[in-house]
Amino acid sequence: MRRPRRPRTLSGEEARLWAEIAKLITPLRGRARPPAPAADPSQATATLAPGLTATAAAKPGTTLGSKAGQAKPGQAPAKPARAPKKAAPPPIRAATAAPYQAPPQTPRPATGIDRPERLALRRGTLPIEARIDLHGMYQTEAHAALTGFILRARAAGHAHVLVVTGKGGPDFHEAFAERGVLRRSVPHWLRGPELRGIVLGFEEAARHHGGSGALYVRLRRR
């Protein structure tokens, strides 16, 4: 024999709907409005999503049963994504060492001319192969002229040349005073960096070649 079915208790949502419908029903004369059926407390909380409180359900924009942003029971919250690792810089290779090159040797400064060679120049047995006269030139002009003369003489293969500077002196007219300056400057120019590698030595010339106002200059052969 089948047992009589036990009447099912309304859920909270069903009870609320029944109460709204009951308001629309007009009771018969002499009868009171039927009371709203009691809601089952266990059924009222069953409609809420697991882990969602009634306060959260009442907030606007909250969907019942939504699982967004909620971790599953027994599951740890997701870890934030790690930033991508930066690529390691390429290894620095050791530079290939250039072969050692010895610095060029600085030519020795010009010195005097050997005595036998100097005597031969004075006597004329050793010819003077070229000469230049710096009379009437100012320092800038004379310096350029002397440098060009020495370079051309060396290119021509000459070994002994004569440079005339003029004697000059404090008693000379101003126009001739530049000769005294040239007399003091020419030895410095012959020892300078432009001519140091070409001029081997120089000496004061003999009287018939200009004396103290001229110089014998010996050049390095090519």
Find the angle CA(216)-CA(207)-CA(130) to the nearest 5 degrees.
35
First-to-last C-alpha distance (Å) of the chain? 140
pLDDT of residue 103: 45
Instruction: Give bridge partners of residue 162 from the DSSP assignment.
Output: 131, 216
Q: Which residues contact 92 (CB under 8 A, 6 or more apart)?
A: none
- Whether the CB-CB separation of 168 and 181 falls below 8 Å is answered with yes
- Whether the CB-CB separation of 33 and 64 falls below 8 Å is answered with no
CA torsion sign for 197, 198, 200, 202 is negative
Of the candidates 199, 202, 200, 204, the one whose C-alpha atom is nearest the C-alpha of residue 214 is 204
Decide if pLDDT at 208 tops 70: yes
CA 153 to chain centre: 48
Q: Using CA atoms, how far apart are residues 220 and 116, in angstroms rounded to an integer? A: 18
Query: Which letter does DSSP use for residue 29 in this model?
Result: T
0.85 surpassed by pTM = no
Domains of the chain (ranges, CATH numbers): 12-46 (no CATH), 115-219 (3.30.1370.110)
pLDDT band per the 50, 70, 90 thresholds, residue 147: very high
pLDDT > 90: percent of the chain: 31
- Whether the CB-CB separation of 206 and 101 falls below 8 Å is answered with no
C-alpha torsion angle, residues 56, 57, 60, 62 (rounded to 10): 90
pLDDT of residue 146: 95
pLDDT of residue 56: 47
Instruction: Give bridge partners of residue 36 from the DSSP assignment.
Output: none
pLDDT band per the 50, 70, 90 thresholds, residue 212: confident
> pLDDT: is 94 or 63 the higher one?
94
Q: Using CA atoms, how far apart are residues 141 and 135, in angstroms rounded to an integer? A: 11
Listed range (33-37, 48-52, 111-115, 191-195) with the worst mean pLDDT:
48-52
pLDDT of residue 156: 93
What integer best gives the mean pLDDT of the chain?
Answer: 73
> pLDDT: is 58 or 139 the higher one?
139
